[in-house]
Chain A
Amino acid sequence: MNRRFSWFNATSLTLGFAFLYVPMLILVIYSFNESKLVTVWAGFSTKWYGELLGNDAFLSAAWVTLKVALMSSTLAAVLGTMAAHVLVRGGRFMGRTLFSGMIYAPLVMPEVITGLSLLLLFISIGLDRGIFTIVLAHTTFTMCYVSVVVSSRLVTFDKSLEEAALDLGCTPLDAFFSVTLPIIAPAVISGWLLAFTLSLDDLVIASFAAGPSATTLPMKIFSSVRLGVSPEINALSTIMISIVTVGVIITSLLSKRAVARQRADEQAAART
């Protein structure tokens, strides 16, 4: 593509990013608003952060969400990596088409359908709903994202490295842990991160799977948002936006360094 500066391009980028970021910026600014009225500025204050930290319902919901996200993303990373390995390296086996269909289908499935179907399953086998069922539900849909991320890495991965390890006397399990896993680790980690964020963020599937005994943070936010805008939610949003922003910046810097190091290694290897 040609690289040339034009006013048209500069305008569309400015307007496009303004559209994406101004709403969030307003949210962040007005979380420091003194007034209870969210759209009227009445001076700087951090009191809504204080109120938020004193709100036990929000804190316990945040804790539930974090536990669910940690457990489900870890399970999803393991199962998703296994599924990716089966898809890319598994060869032929009975029901392969069904398997790959079941990996890709949840990615495009409306959340209301996934949620409803899981809830009906839990009820028909008589499983008590709570944190455990949310973990099961989240693992199921996030493992598919993990397996897509990991399998795109496995496809580009040189199979002869694995074969060399096997020839040198490794068992297949050894070969996986000492050769394959270290190489695909960045993909597994980004898959895990994706699963973690999707789980933190999910409202619909969690609402179906949760039952009355467990409430996640998105469920709590949703029920208070339905009553209108509140400065406490603005404060909570600001905290979540800052965590994500810092996280994304750190990972992008780390991956930039990793790429640079890999390039330097390759150049050094090419010279010797």
Chain B
Amino acid sequence: MNPRRLFVIGLPYLWLLALFLVPFFIVLKIALSDTAVSIPPYTPVLDLAAGWQGVKDFWAGLDLENFVFLTEDALYWKAYLSSLQIAAISTVIALLVGYPIAYAMAQASDEWRPTLMMLIILPFWTSFLIRVYSWIGILSNEGFLNQFLLWSGLSSTPLAIMNTTTAVYIGIVYTYLPFMVLPIYAALEKMDGSLIEAAEDLGCSRISAFWLVTLPLSRPGVIAGCFLVFIPALGEFVIPSILGGSRTLMIGKVLWEEFFSNRDWPVASAVAVVLLLLLIVPIILFQRNEQRQREADQ
């Protein structure tokens, strides 16, 4: 291999090895360590100066204690379950909200579609934090939603939405909606319109043509969109901590608090390892869906 090629391959490779892969092994190692009152706050620490004996002592100090602890304390498995539930329900809501938008965009006239595309992408470039923040003023007890409900007489008492899981659902659907709309739109846009006409000519009503033709053909886009919402929602930290209040339990928040508030690094690392294991299945399914799409396109 010539030196130029070695450099072009080697530099990004080494960068990712050192700053992406190696850190994971450190997380795994610390997840197997024990909490200690020291700097760094865990034991054992690998002592290479002690030679082979140091390596052996280090190895003997690792155990699965933190993972056992995770299964014993109800807080953790409740947090995992409630993260899964919140991510799944938000994904379904995002699909129900996003599909009609993508469908209408795909049917819009040619001069409108670039503008609609831009309007969908624009929020993605706007700060995530600010978009989540904008809901505090709407959902809080004296917020705009409650002002509207009281003024219009739809409700006589203010609804407590802020600091509940409902607020978290709204936050996730709001911030990840473009990820749901774009792949569905891409699938619908490619669809051949004459298929619907054929179905209608053959006696389908518009609604049954939608169920029998449009929906099955947009399936890859629906699957991609669902994964693109579900995967980041599962490990979400910002939305539950701003909108969810102290009662909303999500694993990203537990990890953060374990690390920054309790300073329990081994438990935080164990939480991270289990979250990663939970994510592997959806990530592999997502990759497979993308792969099948690419093959179908060729």
Contacts and interface: CB of A to CB of B under 8 A. Distances in A.
Interface of A: 1-4, 6, 8-10, 12-13, 16-17, 19-21, 23-24, 26-27, 30, 38-39, 79-80, 82-83, 85-86, 90, 93, 95, 98-99, 102-106, 108, 110-113, 116-118, 120-121, 123-124, 136-137, 139-140, 143, 147, 172-173, 197, 200-201, 203-204, 208, 218, 221-222, 225-226, 228-229, 233, 237, 240-241, 244-245, 247-249, 252, 256
Contact of B143 (A39, A86, A116, A225): A39
Interface residues of B, number: 91
Chief secondary structure at chain B's binding surface:
helix
Given A201-B127, A244-B122, A13 B24 contact: no
Contacts of B279: 108, 110
Contacts of A118: 19, 23
A27 B23 contact: no
Contacts of A39: 137, 140, 142-144, 147
A20 B123 contact: yes
10 contacts: A16-B97, A19-B177, A24-B126, A26-B144, A110-B235, A121-B23, A143-B12, A204-B237, A221-B130, A244-B127
A102 B137 contact: no
Contact of B272 (A8, A113, A123, A203): A113
Interface stretch (B48-56, B60-68, B69-77, B188-196): B188-196
A26 B138 contact: yes
A66 B2 CA distance: 38
A111 B253 CA distance: 11
B191 A1 contact: yes
Contact of B235 (A111, A136, A140, A241): A111
Looking at B27, B126, B237, the one whose CB has the most chain A CB atoms below 10 A away is: B126
B23 A120 contact: yes
Interface string B120-137: 111101111111011111
Contacts of B116: 13
A4 B235 contact: no
Contacts of B276: 113
Contacts of B155: none
Contacts of B24: 117
Nearest to A80: B12
A245 B118 CA distance: 10
Contacts of A120: 23, 26-27, 30, 265, 269
A233 B133 contact: yes
A16 to B, nearest CB: 4
A219 to B, nearest CB: 10
A10 to B, nearest CB: 7
A247 B126 CA distance: 11
B103 interface: yes
A9 B107 contact: yes
Contacts of A106: 20
Given A30-B137, A39-B144, A112 B118 contact: no
Contact of A240 (B106, B121, B130): B130
A23 B174 contact: yes
B242 interface: yes
A173 B121 CA distance: 36
A78 B20 CA distance: 18
Interface string B38-55: 001000000000000000
A23 B256 contact: no
A254 B12 CA distance: 31
A117 B127 contact: no
Contacts of A221: 129-130, 133
B79 interface: no
A256 B114 CA distance: 10
Interface in B1-30: 1, 4, 8-9, 11-13, 15-17, 19-24, 26-27, 30
B104 interface: yes
A193 to B, nearest CB: 9
B268 interface: yes
B147 A12 contact: no
A237 B123 contact: no
Contacts of B136: 225, 228-229
B117 to A, nearest CB: 9
A137 B231 CA distance: 21
Given A13-B101, A79-B11, A116-B272, A197 B131 contact: no
Contacts of B133: 27, 221, 225, 229, 233, 237
B286 interface: yes
